[in-house]
Structure 1
């Protein structure tokens, strides 16, 4: 069974490629990545083939997808602040890129497409927990581009009979997540600063909440979806409803490290959602026993990986 992962050299993609290469039923794994945000180091020593190029190029997708049993579309340009700085680039990568992938999947008659949207699509909708039927009120170009991603997938399923499984990811974190750029996510930023002895920069008062999801949970659900050929005509939250504040996250990181951390507060960021929490009822209908990691387990694994890789100084 051949599996194609777009964004395969990125954070979630490389973790998924690693999990897939361990499966006896998977005979070939192909990672597609233009390496604009992904890294070759993420795929070192893995028996996977890398097709280097953009998902906006049909020839790149044709090279990767011929004979594939499933495609997992994770290729995207992440970050709300990045999308505010350059909305056109986010739209091209995320919305147009998804359309190109869908056309390639249709062209090659790939039996299954799993793809990633984002909890950011809920935006300003104040209802918690976030249930998939809630009205999306996106407040950033990134969120709009991910809403387009899932809407295209659902439309293609309806028009062309494609088997799709669109997930909404919630603040995924863990090993191989970049910490050294301006648009880094909050967990790797906090861990990197803590290990290097720098103050943790918090945008706002720190009481804003997130449903942090360890990458191992995400990859285990996707692997199960591939092996059981799970599809859904509707989008599915991929998180577990474990909402915590940034201040609580910092407190847990302090317990993991066994010391107090310095925190510096700054103004809130444009486009940030105040609170986020998943309703996971639909996820549990499709995946009755997903692998779930506590925030403590996830932080311990993230700290260990960043330390062992020598990415930061203690």
Structure 2
């Protein structure tokens, strides 16, 4: 039921069995991993809200039947659904969203409806709860936009480069306003290219690492958009889960905060291919295609703030996480 290579370190210091948790988008990649951590450490109640449009029931089906697990199939674009999901909940990790820059470019209206209107519904439902202690939400490194400054530091953002980036920026603006107007304080976690087990390579908007892992397993050449020097602060999933657990349990919040979730490092797409050649034993070379609209050229995070605030540490470096991820895809026949 639980991945033996993951979540062997406790990132909490309280008895989770006394508390209830809501993970929106909990059938998705990041959400289902947060669910796995909470269930492994015997959380009192773990409730998932997901409409399965972007998540996968397979990610959570093994938890069905557990006495402390509950699944609600529903959409965050419905306020009453959000209110129902929040009832009796102490901590929220809001992961439900439509990711992908290309998807937002091809369909900005749906991205807006889910990522902004849906997010606002969750904020309202959470604000009105008398039992909630903390809401954490998935923010994005895309918020840094066209700023060329590296590393990326909270408070030093550029202009958004895609509709998706706009939606994630608006999430932060709404959260800040709710903090100032209603004294409802939340934490936004700006993810930097999270990867790992349960990330589906067959999704039409799949990220680069699951696609490339599938390429190397099936001995097909990966396609790089651009010259391959594009770099990312690739962050293994357990690091993101750690950040969510510590953020939900943070007890000293007095205003809205955003924090980078990353490793503070850079890996180019060319370097990624070389590592996969080594890990897989397949000497496959990439195909190079034109760059995509809306993509940021380079990304690297400053993680000083989250280290100071949450005692976060990137327990898994990129190479170690990549090896675990590639092995997971092999075992699961992708």
TM-score, shorter chain, exceeding 0.5: yes
Residue of structure 1 equivalent to 2:202: 180
Contact 2:263 2:317 in 1 (8 A): no
Q: Contact 2:145 / 2:159 at 8 angstroms: preserved in 1? A: yes
Q: Which residue of 1 aligns with 2:45?
A: 28
The Cα of 1:79 is off from its aligned counterpart by 0.1
Per-residue Cα deviation, 1:9-52 (whole angstroms, up to 9, x for no partner): 0000000000011224x200001100001011100222321110
Corresponding residue for residue 304 of structure 1? 327
5+ residue gaps, structure 2, are: 1-18
Take 1:107 and 1:300, find their aligned partners in 2: how far apart are those partners? Answer: 44
Paired position in structure 1 for 2:154: 132
Once the two structures are superposed, residues 229-248 of structure 1 have per-residue CA deviations (whole angstroms, 9 ceiling, x without a partner) of 46453311111211111101
Contact 1:82 1:183 in 2 (8 A): yes
2:269 paired residue among 246, 249, 272: 246
Report the counterpart of residue 16 of structure 1 in structure 2.
34
- How many Å separate the matches in 1 of 2:184 and 2:144? 25
Cα shift readout 1:192-222 (whole Å, capped 9, x = no counterpart): 1111111101000010110000011110121
2:81 pairs, out of 44, 60, 65, with 60
Q: Which whole-Å CA distance do the structure 1 matches of 2:231 and 2:300 have between them?
A: 8
Distance change (3 Å), C-alpha of 1:230 and 1:205: farther
Give the deviation of 1:60 after TM superposition: 1.5
Gaps of 5+ in 1: none
- Note the aligned Cα RMSD (angstroms): 1.3
Are positions 1:220 and 2:242 aligned together? yes
What displacement does 1:96 show? 1.1
Note if 1:77 corresponds to 2:77.
no
| Distance of 2:57 and 2:157 partners within structure 1 | 39
Q: Which residue of 1 aligns with 2:141?
A: 119
Alpha-carbon distance in 2 for matches of 1:111, 1:208: 40
Contact in 1 for aligned 2:172/2:188 (Cα 8 Å): yes
Separation (CA, whole Å) in 2 of partners of 1:273 and 1:172: 16
Shift in CA distance, 200/57, structure 1 to aligned 2, threshold 3 Å? same
> Given the two structures, how large is their TM-score scaled by the length of structure 2?
0.90
- For 2:94 and 2:250, the matched residues in 1 are separated by 18
What is the alpha-carbon distance in structure 2 between the residues aligned to residue 22 and residue 286 of structure 1?
Answer: 25
* DSSP 3-state at the match of 1:273: coil
C-alpha contact 1:3 1:69 (8 A) present in aligned 2: yes
- 1:241/1:181 CA distance change after superposition, 3 Å: same
Deviation at 1:289, TM superposition (A): 4.5
SS at match of 1:235: strand
**Where do residues 228-307 of structure 1 align in structure 2 (5 Å cutoff)?**
228-229=250-251, 231=253, 233-307=256-330
Aligned residue-pair number: 310
In 2, are the aligned partners of 1:70 and 1:111 still within 8 Å (CA)? yes
The equivalent of 1:7 in structure 2 is: 25
Specify the SS of the correspondent of 2:172. helix
